[in-house]
């Protein structure tokens, strides 16, 4: 187990290992997403209160969950980079930021679209919406900080520190926004995830889509990390061998 972990720390081994896992992961993701989305969007019965509208939850809920998970993941890899100086950890953390920001944006956008038919408004300053918006700001800050540095190494370390500061702050922000919301608006009970009322044919596709989206996230993360590896190791022998090999292959084809 430990050996495997250390091997993934080497950019070259990360590249060759993921080469083997990626096709499997992609097929599993396609099957999960295809089944889940087709089932959820076309075949599950409409909700007795929200009608067809609730189907957006199949996209919205996994995105909103992943948005938070991605931040935690970024912070873990940042810590890994700061503590053990694992280069791949920083490359993964770097890949997390734009993916996390777009997932958060999709969660907000789908939430907004869902808000119109169900709540009658695009946006309310609800605690969950507000803290998701703030999380988007945190992601944007990390991306902006990284792009401001010329030196890859300083940028990496600065972003790692900022991610860790953010992860300490995130619960405080979440708590403060929850509290703020209950003070300023009467507690409007907007809980939409009343799982008890949902029959299995509603939540099983959600389960499929959830894992499918997770797979999609991992694929995007791995691809981005691989690009970053190639970019940073472009002077290494194995990368030029790889490029030559690819050129030969396409030459034969």
- By CB under 8 A, name the binding residues for other proteins: 82, 134, 137-138, 140-141, 144-145, 148-149, 154, 157-158, 161-162, 164-166, 168-169, 172-173, 175-177, 179-180, 183
CB of 245 to other proteins, least distance (A): 38
Cβ-based neighbours of 106, under 8 Å, separated by 6 or more: 59, 63
Question: Is the Cβ of residue 96 or residue 138 nearer to other proteins in the bound state?
Answer: 138
Q: What is the 3-state secondary structure (H, E, C) of 24-51?
A: HHHHHHHHHHHHHHHHHHHHCCCECCCE
**Half-sphere exposure of 177 toward its Cβ, with a 13 Å CA cutoff?**
17
CB of 36 to other proteins, least distance (A): 33
Question: Is the Cβ of residue 99 or residue 135 nearer to other proteins in the bound state?
Answer: 135
CB of 129 to other proteins, least distance (A): 14
Question: Is the Cβ of residue 17 or residue 157 nearer to other proteins in the bound state?
Answer: 157
DSSP codes of every residue in 76-119: HHHHHHHHH--HHHHHHHHHHHHHHHHHHHHHHHHHHHHHHHHH
Distances (CA, A) of 161 to 123, 149, 168: 33, 14, 11
In the structure encoding, which two tokens stand for residue 162, read together? 């900022």
Question: Is the Cβ of residue 161 or residue 190 nearer to other proteins in the bound state?
Answer: 161
CB of 35 to other proteins, least distance (A): 38
Question: Is the Cβ of residue 47 or residue 178 nearer to other proteins in the bound state?
Answer: 178
CB of 146 to other proteins, least distance (A): 11
CB of 79 to other proteins, least distance (A): 12
**Distance, CA of 23 to CA of 33 (rounded, Å):** 15
Are 82 and 157 a contacting pair, CB within 8 Å? yes
Are 132 and 67 a contacting pair, CB within 8 Å? yes
Question: Is the Cβ of residue 123 or residue 203 nearer to other proteins in the bound state?
Answer: 123
């Amino acid at each position: 187990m430990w050996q495997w972990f250390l091997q993934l720390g080497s950019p070259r081994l990360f590249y060759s290992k993921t080469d083997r896992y990626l096709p499997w992961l992609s097929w599993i993701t396609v099957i999960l997403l295809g089944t889940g989305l087709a089932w959820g969007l076309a075949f599950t019965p409409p909700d007795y209160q929200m009608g067809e509208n609730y189907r957006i939850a199949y996209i919205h809920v996994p995105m909103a969950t992943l948005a938070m998970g991605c931040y935690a993941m970024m912070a873990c890899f940042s810590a890994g980079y700061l503590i053990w100086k694992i280069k791949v950890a920083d490359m993964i953390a770097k890949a997390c930021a734009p993916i996390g920001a777009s997932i958060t944006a999709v969660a907000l956008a789908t939430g907004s679209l869902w808000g119109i038919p169900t709540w009658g408004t695009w946006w309310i300053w609800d605690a969950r919406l507000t803290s998701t918006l703030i999380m988007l700001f945190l992601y944007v800050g990390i991306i902006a900080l990284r792009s401001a540095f010329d030196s890859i190494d300083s940028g990496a370390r600065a972003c790692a520190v900022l991610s860790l500061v953010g992860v300490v702050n995130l619960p405080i922000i979440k708590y403060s926004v929850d509290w703020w919301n209950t003070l300023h608006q009467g507690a409007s009970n907007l809980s939409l995830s009343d799982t008890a009322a949902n029959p299995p044919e509603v939540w099983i596709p959600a389960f499929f889509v959830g894992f499918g989206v997770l797979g999609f996230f991992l694929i995007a993360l791995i691809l981005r990390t691989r690009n970053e590896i190639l970019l940073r190791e472009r002077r290494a022998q194995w990368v030029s061998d790889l490029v030559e090999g690819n050129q030969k292959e396409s030459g034969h084809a």
